[in-house]
């Protein structure tokens, strides 16, 4: 599992690439929160029975950004490739590889 911190002023986490991006609600609001990238096995072992809410699926190659608006200074936390389920709980976000 990899873990990063992201900040937001819109209560969302931003991800995408040069062609598209989307900001999804983090179920909490503004502040600094964790985003974790993990396998399905890690999710099942540690998070499956927690109160995380499924938000959808993202497939392709995309970046996860450190801030929820693209502007000068927004950095790429990591780049993912594949198909991921997305879950949120109190600002924390999980990207779970299928």
Residue 64 has pLDDT above 90, yes or no: yes
Would you put residue 31 in left (φ > 0), alpha (ψ -120 to 50) or beta?
left
Position 48 scores a pLDDT of: 87
pTM: 0.96
Q: 27 pLDDT band (50/70/90 cuts)?
A: very high
Cα(74)–Cα(47) distance, rounded to whole angstroms? Answer: 29
- Determine the average pLDDT of the residues in 21-46: 97
The distance from CA 3 to its chain's CA centroid, rounded to whole angstroms, is 10
Whether residue 32 has pLDDT greater than 90: yes
């Amino acid at each position: 599992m990899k873990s990063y911190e992201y900040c937001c002023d819109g209560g969302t986490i931003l991800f995408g690439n040069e062609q598209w991006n989307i900001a999804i609600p983090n179920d909490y609001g503004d502040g600094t929160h964790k985003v974790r990238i993990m396998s399905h096995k890690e999710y099942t072992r540690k998070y499956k029975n927690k109160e995380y809410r499924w938000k959808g699926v993202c497939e392709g190659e995309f970046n996860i950004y450190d801030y929820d608006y693209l502007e000068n200074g927004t950095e790429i936390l990591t780049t993912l490739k594949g198909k991921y389920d997305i879950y949120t709980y109190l600002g924390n976000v999980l990207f779970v590889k299928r």
